């Protein structure tokens, strides 16, 4: 009935036998881009060379990462959205709202931090849900929806606070902090750690600075979500080719709404951190934070057209941004020079992330075209 089709060249069935070099490359590409790590190492080296122990000590690094922590958490949420080829411009406003809600709940209603955090997350999730509905259901472009929500949420924030900042260090009549106020500082007021007294690796009994801990936990949880769960694959599919995703059985609407909700949830999660870091919530808190978040995502190797990127890559991007700021500050570089340098670094980071970057650099240097992978045919050309 049927005969096996033969080919003159042996067809190699796809194998999983990788040599160690390509296995390393493959695992690195899962965890962000190689170029991102190189950039991070470079900045750390510059810091160590120029400032030595002043830069490379636990306190400085903790403070530097802690200062960027809320923006880093925003960047993780933004990664999810950007992976689906959307964008969320309202994360800064949602953070501000979460920050203000946390401060108001503490100052005016005396709630404990354990009650404040879930409420702030719920508020953020609700804002994100609105973004998702606007994008997926009303089919408005996410840029437009989230730009509008940026203003709406900021307006609500300012209305709630009557345009004045609200402090979180509430003192009682005899000059000490209230119990809840004191506990609230654990969210990230400088100098306050959590889990102090517990003997932990690396830090001993000094405890951990919560913003750093929160950022790392968020990164781990969402990296696992993206790489190991079904939702994660759906997110990559929707961003890579929404039609193919839909025809493969992915519910694109549900995935879109979910990523925006998660993004808002994370912004709400970061709200108390921002309020505690400043020991107050400002009605304008979080303004322009979305730009930092998007910068971290892009430096981390994600593509704004969706389908490419990872949470760990974003984390590396966030580290690059904050350590760069730290190294420049410790070296007392002038403000204007800092702006220029940071801008150039962002451009450089994006350019070297391009897949064919190394190849085009090497070929330009060598002036020989690098051969792409080609199989050798065993047959000889015939003459006519």
CA dist., res. 55 & res. 48, Å (int): 6
Shorter beta-carbon distance to other proteins: residue 336 or 365:
336
Closer residue to other proteins (CB): 158 or 352: 158
- Is 303 within 8 Å of 309 (Cβ atoms)? yes
CA distance 371 to 86: 36
Look-up of token digits 């609700």: 126
Contact call for residue 371 and other proteins (CB under 8 A): no
Buried b (16+ CB within 10 A) or exposed e, 210-231: bbbbbbeebbeebbebbeeeeb
Which residue among 246, 341, 345, 352 contacts other proteins (CB under 8 A)?
Answer: 246
Q: How far is the CB of 65 from other proteins (least distance, A)?
A: 11
Q: Which is nearer to other proteins, 216 or 225 (CB)?
A: 225
241 binds other proteins (CB under 8 A): yes
Contact status: 111 vs other proteins (CB under 8 A) = no
User: Which residue, among 317, 310, 372, has the nearest Cα to 29 in the 3D structure?
Assistant: 310
Residue 364 lies near other proteins (rule: CB under 8 A): no
Q: Does 381 bind other proteins (CB under 8 A)?
A: yes
Distance from CA of residue 373 to its chain's centroid? 34
Q: Does 165 sit near other proteins (CB under 8 A)?
A: yes
Q: How many CB atoms lie within 10 A of CB 336?
A: 8
Q: Is 264 exposed, middle or buried (0-12, 13-18, 19+ CB in 10 A)?
A: buried
5 binds other proteins per the rule CB under 8 A: yes
Tokens encoding 290: 């979305």
Residues 6+ apart with CB under 8 A from 88: 77, 78, 81, 128, 131, 142, 146, 260, 263, 290
Show contacts with other proteins in window 53-92 (CB under 8 A). 54-55, 57, 59-60, 63-64, 67
Residue closer to other proteins, measured from CB, 145 or 237: 237
Q: Between 135 and 161, whose beta carbon lies closer to other proteins?
A: 161
The verdict on 382 binding other proteins (CB under 8 A) reads yes
Beta carbon nearer to other proteins, 162 or 199? 162
- Which helix (DSSP H) or strand (DSSP E) does residue 281 occupy? strand 280-281
List the one residue from 21, 138, 191, 199 that touches other proteins (CB under 8 A). 191
Stretch that binds other proteins, among 6-14, 132-140, 196-204, 257-265 (CB under 8 A): 6-14
Which of 111, 177 has the CB closer to other proteins?
A: 177
- Shorter beta-carbon distance to other proteins: residue 41 or 171: 171
- The answer to whether 33 contacts other proteins (rule: CB under 8 A) is no
Q: Is 236 in the site for other proteins (CB under 8 A)?
A: yes
Residue 150 within binding range of other proteins, rule CB under 8 A: no
Query: What are the beta bridge partners of residue 194?
Result: 208
For other proteins, what does the binding mask look like between residues 270 and 289, x meaning CB under 8 A? ----x--xxxx-xxxx----
Contact call for residue 20 and other proteins (CB under 8 A): no
Q: Does 182 bind other proteins (CB under 8 A)?
A: no
The torsion angles phi and psi of 355, rounded to 5 degrees, stand at: -60, -35
Does 173 bind other proteins (CB under 8 A)? Our answer is no
- Nearer CB in complex with other proteins: 42/54: 54
**Which residue number, 42 or 244, has a Cβ lying nearer to other proteins?**
244
Among 21, 247, 365, 368, binds other proteins (CB under 8 A): 247
Of residues 291 through 330, those in contact with other proteins by CB under 8 A are 307-308, 325-326, 329-330
C-alpha to C-alpha distance for 356 and 363, rounded to whole angstroms: 11
3-state secondary structure 43-109: HHHHHHHHHHHHCCCHHHHHHHHHHHHHHHHHHHHHHHHHHCCCCCCCHHHHHHHHHHHHHHHHHHH
The three-class DSSP label of residue 204 is: strand
**Cα 42 from Cα 203, distance rounded (Å):** 26
Q: Choose the binding region for other proteins from 112-120, 137-145, 237-245, 358-366 (rule: CB under 8 A).
A: 237-245
């Amino acid at each position: 009935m049927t005969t096996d089709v033969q080919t003159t060249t042996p067809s190699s069935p796809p194998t999983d036998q990788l040599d160690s070099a390509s296995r390393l490359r493959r695992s690195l590409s899962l965890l962000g881009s190689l170029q991102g790590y190189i950039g991070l190492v470079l900045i750390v080296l510059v810091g160590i060379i120029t400032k030595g122990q002043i830069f490379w000590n636990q306190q400085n690094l903790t403070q530097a990462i802690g200062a960027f922590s809320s923006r880093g958490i925003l960047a993780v949420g933004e990664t999810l959205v950007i992976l689906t080829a959307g964008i969320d411009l309202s994360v800064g406003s949602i953070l501000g709202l979460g920050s203000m809600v946390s401060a108001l709940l503490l100052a005016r209603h005396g709630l404990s931090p354990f009650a404040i955090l879930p409420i702030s997350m719920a508020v953020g999730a609700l804002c994100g849900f609105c973004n998702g509905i606007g994008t997926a259901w009303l089919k408005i472009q996410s840029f437009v929806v989230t730009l509008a929500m940026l203003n709406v949420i900021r307006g609500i924030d300012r209305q709630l606070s009557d345009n004045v900042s609200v402090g979180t260090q509430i003192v009682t009549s005899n000059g000490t902090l209230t119990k809840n106020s004191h506990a609230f500082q654990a969210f990230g007021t400088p100098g306050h750690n959590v889990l102090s007294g517990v003997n932990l690796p690396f830090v001993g009994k000094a405890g951990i600075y919560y913003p750093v801990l929160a950022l790392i936990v968020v990164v781990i949880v969402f990296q696992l979500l993206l790489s190991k769960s079904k939702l994660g694959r759906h997110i990559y599919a929707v961003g890579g080719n929404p039609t193919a995703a839909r025809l493969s059985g992915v519910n694109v609407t549900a995935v879109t709404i979910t990523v925006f909700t998660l993004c808002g949830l994370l912004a709400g999660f970061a709200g108390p951190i921002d309020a505690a870091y400043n020991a107050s919530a400002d009605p304008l808190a979080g303004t322009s934070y979305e730009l930092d978040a998007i910068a971290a995502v892009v430096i981390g190797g994600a593509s704004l057209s969706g389908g490419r990127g990872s949470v760990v890559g974003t984390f590396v991007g966030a580290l690059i941004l904050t350590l760069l700021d730290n190294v420049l500050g410790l070296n007392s570089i002038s403000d204007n020079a800092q702006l220029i340098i940071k801008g150039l670094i962002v451009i450089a980071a994006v350019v070297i992330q391009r897949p064919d970057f190394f190849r085009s650099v090497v070929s330009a240097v060598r002036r020989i075209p690098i051969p792409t992978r080609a199989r050798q045919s065993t047959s000889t050309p015939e003459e006519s």
